[in-house]
């Protein structure tokens, strides 16, 4: 039974240089592309940081209060590699991961430790002041090895809270396959997901769908012309 980490490793071995995640901000023109190797390295670093820096064991909960963005994809990959359960949005958890813009609100409504991730195209450290107690996690992640140092995750571990219930890694991959089939995404295709997509679609498409379907995904933010982006990126299927 496949888990997220094993699928990432297999993708990195067979098509490591090919794009897995592409992020486009249609308002600013930003475009960031991550290969399968880059995502696998990020997953290992984040997972190591969750275990080493934050002392989270498999089964711990990580809330990801992150928009449709490549950081959502890499943090999903890292949390699942560490065997953690992901709660989408601002929720009580063992650790809350958010953006600089949302960090002040996060500290007011949760008792969990709060860390922020950079929205910079290259993930550079955050330069603006942070609220008391909020940590920029950039350096803690960058200092970790590219190889995951702990036991591999189990596909039966709870992975993602969807519509009030947790699904396992295996179930998330099955749901991703069913979603792809329902929307007509063929294996090896290229998927476009905008930030107008339904929540379940958005979270599964950030990582589980492209891994399950050996596909790539374009995550689009903003009010720009999605038709133009679809043509430019050679999209074969859209979920928006």
Query: Which pLDDT does position 115 carry in this prediction?
Result: 97
Domain boundaries along the sequence of the chain: 4-239
The widest CA-to-CA distance across the chain, in whole angstroms, is 47
Residue 224 DSSP SS3: coil
Alpha carbon of 51 to those of 82, 95, 141, 148: distances in Å?
A: 7, 12, 11, 10
Residue 63 DSSP SS3: strand
Per the DSSP assignment, residues forming a β-bridge with 19 are 35
Alpha carbon of 38 to those of 13, 87, 137, 240: distances in Å?
A: 12, 24, 18, 26
Contact of 226 with 192, CB cutoff 8 Å: yes
Please, what sign has the CA dihedral across residues 176, 181, 187, 192? negative
Contact of 194 with 166, CB cutoff 8 Å: no
Query: Which pLDDT does position 38 carry in this prediction?
Result: 97
Token pair of 30, please?
A: 């930003």
Q: What are the residues whose beta carbons fall under 8 Å from the beta carbon of 117, sequence distance 6 or more? A: 66, 71, 75, 97, 98, 99, 123, 137, 138
Query: Which pLDDT does position 238 carry in this prediction?
Result: 95
Report the DSSP pairing between strands 216-221 and 190-194: parallel
Query: Which pLDDT does position 109 carry in this prediction?
Result: 86
Query: Which pLDDT does position 62 carry in this prediction?
Result: 98
Query: Which pLDDT does position 224 carry in this prediction?
Result: 85
Query: Which pLDDT does position 222 carry in this prediction?
Result: 92
Question: Which parts of 103-235 fold into alpha helices (H)?
Answer: 103-109, 138-142, 169-183, 199-205, 208-212, 226-232
Query: Which among 175, 212, 217 has a CA at the least distance from the CA of 3?
Result: 212
Per-position pLDDT tens, the chain of length 240: 689 999 999 999 999 999 999 999 999 999 999 999 999 999 999 999 999 999 999 999 999 999 999 999 999 999 999 999 999 999 999 999 999 999 999 999 889 999 999 999 999 999 989 899 999 999 999 999 999 999 999 999 999 999 889 999 999 999 999 999 999 999 999 999 999 999 999 999 999 999 999 999 999 999 889 999 999 999 999 987
In CATH, the architecture of 4-239 is 3-Layer(aba) Sandwich (3.40)
DSSP state for residue 100 in the 8-state scheme: G
Query: Which pLDDT does position 223 carry in this prediction?
Result: 85
Contact of 180 with 208, CB cutoff 8 Å: no
């Amino acid at each position: 039974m496949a888990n997220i980490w094993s699928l990432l490793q297999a993708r990195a071995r067979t098509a490591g240089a090919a794009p897995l995640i592409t992020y486009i901000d249609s308002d600013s023109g930003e475009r960031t592309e991550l290969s399968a190797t880059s995502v696998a390295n990020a997953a290992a670093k984040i997972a190591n940081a969750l275990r080493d820096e934050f002392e989270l064991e498999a089964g711990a909960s990580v809330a990801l209060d992150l928009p449709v963005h490549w950081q959502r994809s890499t943090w999903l990959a890292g949390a699942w590699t560490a065997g953690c359960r992901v709660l989408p949005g601002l929720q009580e958890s063992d650790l809350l991961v958010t953006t600089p813009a949302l960090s002040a609100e996060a500290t007011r409504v949760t008792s969990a430790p709060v860390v922020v991730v950079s929205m910079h195209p290259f993930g550079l450290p955050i330069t603006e002041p942070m609220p008391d107690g909020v940590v920029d996690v950039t350096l803690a992640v960058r200092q970790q090895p590219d190889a995951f140092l702990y036991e591999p995750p189990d596909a039966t571990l709870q992975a993602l809270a969807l519509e009030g219930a947790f699904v396992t890694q295996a179930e998330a991959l099955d749901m991703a396959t069913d979603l792809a089939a329902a929307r007509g995404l063929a294996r090896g295709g290229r998927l476009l997901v905008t930030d107008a997509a339904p929540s379940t679609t958005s979270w599964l498409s950030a990582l589980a769908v492209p891994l399950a379907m050996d596909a790539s995904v374009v995550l689009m933010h903003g009010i720009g012309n999605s038709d133009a982006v679809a043509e430019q990126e050679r999209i074969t299927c859209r979920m928006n």
